[in-house]
Structure 1
Amino acid sequence: MGISNSNYGGTHSVYRHPSEVADSRYRFYLNLAAADAFVATNQARWVAPFSMIRYVTGNVPAEYHRERGRSLGRTGFMKEMQNGRDKRLTMGGEVRGPAALLTLSDRFGIAVSSRIRTVVSHRNTSEATARLMLFGTQIPELRGIINESQHGMANVNGFAEMAFTFGAVLLDNDDQVWKAGLTVKRNVGFYNSHIRVDNGTHQIVRDPTQNGFQALEIERFNGKYGYTTQEAFQRASITPGWLFGKQSAGAGWGFDLGMTYEYRPDYRKYTYREKGEIRRDPTKNKYLYRISASLVDIGGVRFRNPELVNMYPVSVTNKMITYHTFLPVKQPDDVHERIVSLLDLPLSDRTTSYRSGLPAALNVSADYQYRENLYVGVLWTQSLVSPNATAMSTPSMLAVVPRWESRWAEVSMPIALQDNYSMPTIGLALRVGPVFAGTDHLGGLVNIGNPRGANLYAGAAIPLFRRGPRNPNDCYFPPQEGGYWKRWGRRR
């Protein structure tokens, strides 16, 4: 959020609003690389005496080393939020680049981009099932409780994206300007695993195969289970056969479409004549306020390679997961094979095709220029993905983003309601020259207020800015018969 609404966001602004590729402040912008990591949940808060970042990187104080490798729910580092409501978790990352934006003229701009997106999530999950996912079965207080009418959807998604964006100024009516943009995306899936529980009943019981341990008895499970084999990930490569052929587990197309309106009451300050044409100063932000709206990530990935794709409907009763069920497990395919065997899913029910949707969303933003270099933006993202869909999703959020920006430096502080408008956060982002770094959840990064999420991003680019008006005293000779060579001999 700290970068995407900026007039100097380059290709990062185009991901939110494709119309921003037109009338950019850049003549050419090359994103070398950018990375983003995030986690948000309504199930638990982080209560450890150190940050989540230190835990993930293994840089925890020595007295807590004994907790490494244990379930987070049993370390005491997390505090449950029990309120009887359905739970959710979104965790993942994104790598962007290379990507480039090119201004073709005062009216037209294009961008080409690439990125890898991965998300692990569960949504619409019954609290009892979410507790099981957090703690495991080795909690005595959970034993013997029959949990009925359980439901939930869990997804692991990973895909690569190549995209082309075209944008244009549709109307320049002096003080009112309309821009539009369209992005076409080629998405190639390199991994997917999902499980949906429509109706389930389970309880924790004594493990009949191992003294002193507990097992999970599944009395009922109706839903579906699908996955790609690990070979799907191993085949990933930047080759025509993988991007457009049949080597990948699946592929598909996606689209972004958006428009931007700018109100420019002082347009005369930015208007000049050059080579006989009336132009606007491309180095300046000319609006008093700007409103943008876009539909992004419309489309999906169709996984249909019969060598790599497996899909099963599930309707089973009286199954048990014991201490020995997943021993030994060394790779993802082992887990999938054990689940298929445990649930006794017949090969005759197996299909080799399913669709995984992109994280479709509506993005709306407004930006107001309070004074020179000082702006206040509003960002709204509304997810369009059903909670039970086999799809990656972007949690809905609303943010106010004050910022100070100039050509070579910028600072912003997003104030937001994230994670479906339930998690208040404050962020901080800095851009200096060709690099930027920031977080949309400063509390999660530095461990303030028992956070239930965290976020961190950074990137580097090569920016080439657009040229301003030339010397107004330069002579100009309009085109005439005879072309260049005849004009060359004219007296200056």
Structure 2
Amino acid sequence: MKWTHLCFAFFFLPYREGIAQISTGSIKEGVMEVGVWQFNNFAGIQGGYLNPASLSDSRIGWQVQLGSLYTQGGITNVDNPDSHVLFSGTSLKLNKHLWSPTYTDVRGPGFMLQLPNRHAFSISTRYRAASYQTKILFGNSTTNVNRGWTTEAFNEIGLSYALPIWVYKKHHIKAGVTYKFIGGVYYEDLVSQGALGASHFEGTLLNTSTKFNKPFEWNHLFPSKNNGGAFDIGIIYDFVPDFEQYLHPMDGKTRIDVTKNKYLVRIGLSMLDYGSFAYKGVERREGVFVNQSVPAAFGKTNLPNDLRLLLTEHSPQSQPDITRSLATIFVINADVRLGKKGWYVNALINSAKWSNKGFYSPKPYTPFSVAALTPRFEKRGAEFSMPLSYWRQTKQWAVGMQVKIGGLFFGTESLNSLFGGSKSPAPTVYAGFSIQGWARAIKGSDGAGIFDENDAYANALGSQNLIKNGI
């Protein structure tokens, strides 16, 4: 395995006038996230991305998220990812291929706060970008350029709220919702049909884009305009067989200990990314080239970039906005506590529903459906987990590993990609950091964190008031 640089993926083929599109490529391009860093009870804001209800009764009292990055790789000289995918200019030589990030999920600055009675809210930001070869037209030799590449990038700012909605003895239900203001940052679909010789190109090029030939800028990470929105909705059921030991009578009220994990079994249901947004300022450029002279190095390093340069002198034609319905993701997640030493096992089924409504172009950001089983050890904010996942679209198995120490976490969801083989998944890597304070122990009005004589007096007085008022 050789590092070349530091390494910090379905398609819909419409008919394009002037270019007949027949695909012989794979439908296995898409993105995949198991998201094991979102499972644990110290995940905070990160847990809210998987199920917003998890913010309620978290072990986190407050949290400032500084940022996290998840990347998935594609083959560099095939996918030629656009600069809007962060770190796409880096590469890793692995299993006889050179890999570069073709998908990045950047979760930027955010803030979370636990409120009284296990309510919680958070503000979060996020940037997602995907870029890769989405189709191959007739022919697949080294001298033809009958193929296409697509890139899209969008950002969001999310507002979340979570709270308990039903508690009866051993049974607890909490719910949460997130509304996300979404901005379409960048979209491009580049299609080429022709042949490339030693010093000439002959064929047809078509480019549909919002910012033709413009590179990524760091301010794209942060939402500056709203082009639409989407909801995340979640519900969580906790089975707590020994719930009484977490109850504390104080100041005439029964309070629940927020510093401990109380459930034996937790089942979560969530629906993510239900909504749409628009890419605005769309332009189209088309060129027909006959015996066009090109440099000897044309297409050797980055073929899409070289093809774009041929279109720079062609006048753009304004196009309607592209409305983008997100792929709605349905998640079933079960977490079981194994004893009281900090061991857990998590089962996840993640099903993505794709939609082409209002969007007749390739969609690089297309989530895979995933099933995963993850043993986990967590204690005092530290965690070690190893997910075993199955990617349904590609029919591949992946083994991952994650380490979390306080606010720092890092890992991979495809450790076995290091060892190659026909069934190996795409390489992935992720890391993130936050600053937080743990949920505080319960204290009565007398400042004591225990049930004492003052609380007994307050409880008695509270009972008398209830009787006096006929309650």
Q: Does 1:91 align with 2:102?
A: yes
- Aligned partners of 1:302 and 1:353 also within 8 Å: yes
- Aligned partners of 2:151 and 2:186 also within 8 Å: yes
Mapped to 2, the partners of 1:230 and 1:238 lie a distance apart of 18
In structure 1, the partner of 2:240 is: 264
Aligned partner letter, 1:413: M
Aligned partner letter, 2:163: A
1:410-446 CA distances to partner (integer Å, 9 max, x unpaired)?
A: 10000001363522111111111221111111123x4
- Map 1:241-390; keep pairs closer than 5 Å: 243-244=224-225, 251-305=227-281, 309-311=282-284, 324=294, 335-336=307-308, 338-339=310-311, 350-372=318-340, 373-386=342-355, 390=362
Aligned partner letter, 1:365: N
Mapped to 2, the partners of 1:56 and 1:371 lie a distance apart of 46
3-state SS, counterpart of residue 269 of structure 1: helix
Question: Paired residues, what number?
Answer: 403
In structure 2, the partner of 1:193 is: 188
- Aligned partners of 1:355 and 1:390 also within 8 Å: no
In structure 2, the partner of 1:228 is: 211
Q: CA deviation at 1:40?
A: 5.8
| Cα 1:264–1:281 shift into 2, 3 Å | same
In structure 2, the partner of 1:50 is: none
Q: CA deviation at 1:448?
A: 5.1
Aligned partner letter, 1:9: A
Q: CA deviation at 1:169?
A: 0.8
State TM-score, norm by structure 2: 0.72
- Aligned partners of 1:311 and 1:354 also within 8 Å: no
Mapped to 2, the partners of 1:402 and 1:165 lie a distance apart of 28
Q: Does 1:425 align with 2:398?
A: yes
3-state SS, counterpart of residue 472 of structure 1: coil
State TM-score, norm by structure 1: 0.69
Aligned partner letter, 1:113: S
- Aligned partners of 1:415 and 1:425 also within 8 Å: yes
Aligned partner letter, 2:126: R
In structure 1, the partner of 2:127 is: 116
In structure 2, the partner of 1:247 is: none
Structure 1: gaps spanning 5 or more residues:
45-54, 61-71, 80-88, 140-146, 245-249, 482-492
Mapped to 1, the partners of 2:377 and 2:404 lie a distance apart of 10
3-state SS, counterpart of residue 38 of structure 2: coil
Structure 2: gaps spanning 5 or more residues:
1-34, 79-87, 443-448, 462-471
Mapped to 2, the partners of 1:468 and 1:311 lie a distance apart of 60
Q: CA deviation at 1:166?
A: 0.8
Q: CA deviation at 1:91?
A: 2.2
In structure 1, the partner of 2:385 is: 412
Q: Does 1:471 align with 2:440?
A: no
- Aligned partners of 2:155 and 2:185 also within 8 Å: yes
Q: Does 1:102 align with 2:104?
A: no
Aligned partner letter, 1:243: S
| Cα 1:321–1:382 shift into 2, 3 Å | farther
In structure 1, the partner of 2:69 is: 35
**Percent identical:** 22
Q: Does 1:180 align with 2:175?
A: yes
| Cα 1:38–1:13 shift into 2, 3 Å | same
In structure 1, the partner of 2:54 is: 20
Q: CA deviation at 1:238?
A: 8.8
